[in-house]
Amino acid sequence: MKVVFAGTPEFAAVALRALHEAGFQIPLVLTQPDRPAGRGMQLQASSVKQYALAHGIEVLQPLSLRMDSKDPQRAEEARAAHERLAALDYDVMVVAAYGLILPRSTLDIKPCINIHGSLLPRWRGAAPIHRAIEAGDRDTGVTIMQMEEGLDTGPMMLIERVAIEDSDTTASLHDKLAALGGRMIVEALHALAAGRLEAVAQPEEGVTYAAKISKEEARLDFTLPAEDLARKVRAFNPFPGAQGLANGVAVKIWHAEPAAGKGAPGQVLAADAQHGILVACGEGCLRLTELQKPGGKRLAAQEFLKGFPLAGLQFS
């Protein structure tokens, strides 16, 4: 079976690696254009592109796949990509966190199968891992589905469940789901080749949407219950990183846990080696266990306090 692969970040690269190592022929990879990254803001290839180039796989990086784009450059790149796909000998396109919308013209060339990091129809959209943790879901998973024009609305082919542990962050859960997605897509394509893969329509009930995470969401509102804030800290680790203003300084909060206590929301009730950093919330308190000041390193609370005393301060 010949597979065209479309994806961009590490979540997708794990699936690409699984397919390649399983022996599938991959004549072409689609991924997003190189983006500036790091302190020097140098152009950086996506994780998928890096893997593809390291293994001699052709890479295309169109700005868009919409040939009707009003931007002439995007429309021209979309036409070139479409012509390449139409002329290519392949059986199926596998899509994972690509970041570009696949128009009908692309979907009609060959069957397109998507690896989605949630238990559909819950958390359709861009940020299913973040939103599952933020909402307090007890489990999530991976759905292999047939793509159509709607946002993650296509019929499901395979679905597997994973428990969300109390200690899971988006980073740790991402890695679990990426590994699961890689295994499942290999199983799905073997079953497809053998004619054993059936697609089942998604349930009409239980639909939720996982909106893209914005940097504006990083600011914690300490009038909320501590349980809610602890989930946000986990959900926003590693991006965009939860933060609170302490005496006007934006402090990143990487790990925190709910704790007992009462006070004015945002008030630092304790900040010492014995009690840790305890901040009052709308309900209960949040114990901050790993923090980072601007330009500094991520530090355990005890080490952080040596260079940034918080006693008597207020988070806002």
Number of C-beta neighbours around residue 177 at 10 A: 25
Decide which of 3.40.630.30, 3.90.1310.10, 3.40.50.170, 3.40.50.11540 is the CATH code for 2-210: 3.40.50.170
Q: pLDDT tens digits for 210-240?
A: 999 999 999 999 999 999 999 999 999 999 9
Rounded distance between C-alpha atoms, residue 28 and residue 254, angstroms: 38
What average pLDDT does this structure show over 45-62? 97
Cα(212)–Cα(229) distance, integer angstroms: 19
273 CB neighbour count, 10 Å cutoff: 9
Q: Residue type for 261, please?
A: G
Q: Does domain 215-307 have CATH number 1.10.150.240?
A: no
Angle of helix 10-21 versus helix 170-193 axis, rounded to 10: 30
Whose structure tokens read 């307090």? Answer: 136
Q: Are strands 42-44 and 92-96 parallel, antiparallel or unpaired?
A: unpaired
Q: 171 to each of 130, 237, 241, how far by Cα in Å? A: 9, 6, 11
- Show the tokens assigned to 2: 């010949």
Alpha helices in the chain (DSSP H): 10-21, 47-54, 72-87, 104-107, 128-134, 170-193, 226-235, 301-307
Three-class DSSP category at 24: coil
pLDDT class for 75, splitting at 50, 70, 90?
very high
CA count, 13 A, side-chain hemisphere, 209: 5
CB 285 within 8 A of CB 226: yes
pLDDT score, position 36: 87
Residue 37: the pLDDT is 80
Residue 311 CA to residue 197 CA, distance in Å, equals 60
What pLDDT is attached to residue 137? Answer: 98
Q: Using one digit for the tens of pLDDT, what is the confidence trace for 83-120?
A: 999 999 999 999 999 999 999 999 999 999 999 999 99
What are the extents of the domains in the chain?
2-210, 215-307
Dihedral sign computed on CA atoms, order 260, 263, 264, 269: negative
Quick count: other Cβ atoms within 10 Å of Cβ 71?
A: 12
| Percentage above 70 pLDDT, the chain | 100
Confidence of residue 143 (pLDDT cuts 50, 70, 90): very high
